[in-house]
């Protein structure tokens, strides 16, 4: 996005994470600390961004956590924490930018969901519920703001090479690969390309949609 002339504000939960984002963005943006599970902090953060930059044209919801357990072993905290970040966080951040986008009659709201929101997964009832909830949220919000030049879409990745998937043992890896027609995990570049597509003016007539990027593992 930086290469496309967009001023980027990236968020992290730690000071070190925010510093790394700032170093990568250099003069084209900055990293800031933001805890998605704290609505008061989120509102304060958004106000600071408006004060510094004047407006927010694009919101990309990319924060997410998981606390995987079979439901019979899952605690209320395991359930609540995942929904607080993955679903409630998207609600608070999306709501915080809407007034300005409506006033400007332009906006792009894009959320990174998950294939699990459509397929479910053993040990992820909380995670699946949070990602499934995003589907209805985005369809409804898309209808509410379509007349103001605001698009609301989702990307649902399958298995992507990240620090999280790098810890998968060989047995699980082979099991997952057997379910992917392309016989490989996706890359973060695959997701980044889709993000650039959705936030561009080329998608001004696309809203309320989910783009599945999973190598054929799930076809809607």
22, containing H or E segment: helix 15-25
C-alpha span between 176 and 166 (Å, rounded): 13
- Catalytic residue numbers? 127
The pLDDT tens digits of the residues spanning 69-83 come to 999 999 999 999 999
C-alpha span between 218 and 174 (Å, rounded): 17
The pLDDT tens digits of the residues spanning 49-60 come to 888 888 899 999
pTM, 2 dp: 0.91
212 vs 80, 160, 215, CA distance in Å? 27, 12, 9
pLDDT, position 48: 87
C-alpha span between 66 and 188 (Å, rounded): 19
Residue 2 has pLDDT above 80, yes or no: no
Ordered structural domains, the chain, with CATH: 55-213 (3.40.50.720)
| Token reading at 162 | 């990240």
3-class SS of residue 132: helix
């Amino acid at each position: 996005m930086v290469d496309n002339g967009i001023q980027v504000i990236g968020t992290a939960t730690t000071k070190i994470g925010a510093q790394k984002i700032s170093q990568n963005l250099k003069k084209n943006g900055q990293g800031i600390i933001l805890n998605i599970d704290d609505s008061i902090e989120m509102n304060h953060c958004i106000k600071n961004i408006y004060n510094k930059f004047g407006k927010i044209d694009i919101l990309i919801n990319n924060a997410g956590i998981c606390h995987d357990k079979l439901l019979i072993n899952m605690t209320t905290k395991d359930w609540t924490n995942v929904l607080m970040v993955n679903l409630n966080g998207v609600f608070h951040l999306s709501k915080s930018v809407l007034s300005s986008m409506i006033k400007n009659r332009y906006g792009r709201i894009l959320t990174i969901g998950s294939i699990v929101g459509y397929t479910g997964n053993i040990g992820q009832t909380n995670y699946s519920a949070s990602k499934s909830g995003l589907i209805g949220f985005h369809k409804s919000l898309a209808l509410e703001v379509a007349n103001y030049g605001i698009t609301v879409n989702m990307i649902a990745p399958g298995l992507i090479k990240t620090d999280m998937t790098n810890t998968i043992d060989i047995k699980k890896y082979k099991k997952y690969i057997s379910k992917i027609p392309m016989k490989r995990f996706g890359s973060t570049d695959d997701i980044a390309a889709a993000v650039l597509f959705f936030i561009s003016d080329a998608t001004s007539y696309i809203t309320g949609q989910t783009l599945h990027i999973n190598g054929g593992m799930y076809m809607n």
